[in-house]
Amino acid sequence: MQAGLTFFEFLNNAAQQGDAVNIMFEQRLFDLVGILHKISDALTAEQVPYELIGGLAVLIHVEEANPEHSTLTRDVDLLVLRSDLDRIKQAAAKSNFHFRHAAGVDMLLYGSTESTKNAVHLIFSGEKVRPNYLSPTPPIEPEHKLIHGQEVMVIPVTDLVRMKLTSFRDKDRVHVRSLDSAGLITPAVEGRLSPELVERLQHIRVTE
């Protein structure tokens, strides 16, 4: 997909090429990637380290490996340093984002909206997302990916699998299944998981 295309232009190009398009999926992806590009530009301009995690990171890795196993996601989730939070707020404000803390979640909302539909959720590196989690989030060591023609920092597959197996909610298990079905959970990746996480991975493979 070319950088800078509007959704209408994308649909028109697809129609001219005879490509089938899932309109709901692609519209949602356009919306999320648009928000991702805006916040990525803002943080990069201020040299604030970040890493795309969560469902959108899963989708990006799976699309690259085997698009047949892609799943739609709802949010943009970024791994950042807590020590950078004030810098993040300032950088985001320059690009029309505003900070909000609600229900224990730190997030950035774009424009004047208070809707969390396209929120950017901030997760802090080196901390447990919930007290009962097996381990804290990983350090920020992103891979460079081109998303719709623009470079974005994305969490490596091994760290992403680790985070998904640590969370182990319904949607996390779906994401692990997508990664596994796309061939991304290789023996090398599995070999870097703790015994507890390997057990969870095997449970997903057997039951889902």
Indicate whether 24 belongs to any domain: yes
d(CA 4, CA 9): 10
CATH number at residue 47: 3.30.460
Name residue 60's amino acid. I
Strand order in the sheet with 143-147: 97-102, 105-110, 120-124, 76-80, 51-53, 150-154, 143-147
Indicate whether 178 belongs to any domain: no
Indicate whether 198 belongs to any domain: no
User: Which token pair is 45?
Assistant: 């301009």
Q: What is the pTM of this model?
A: 0.86
Q: How far lies 84's CA from each of 43, 49, 91, 124, in Å?
A: 10, 8, 10, 10
Reported as a single tens digit per residue, the pLDDT across 134-189 is 999 999 999 999 888 899 999 999 999 999 999 999 999 999 999 999 999 999 99
Quickly state the pLDDT bin for 13 (edges 50, 70, 90). very low
Structurally, how many domains does the chain consist of?
Answer: 1
Are 54 and 76 in contact by the 8 Å Cβ rule? The answer is yes
Averaged pLDDT, 186-205: 97
Indicate whether 114 belongs to any domain: yes
Indicate whether 117 belongs to any domain: yes
Range of the domain at 124: 7-155
pLDDT at 36: 95
Indicate whether 132 belongs to any domain: yes
Q: Containing H/E element for 108?
A: strand 105-110
Indicate whether 199 belongs to any domain: no
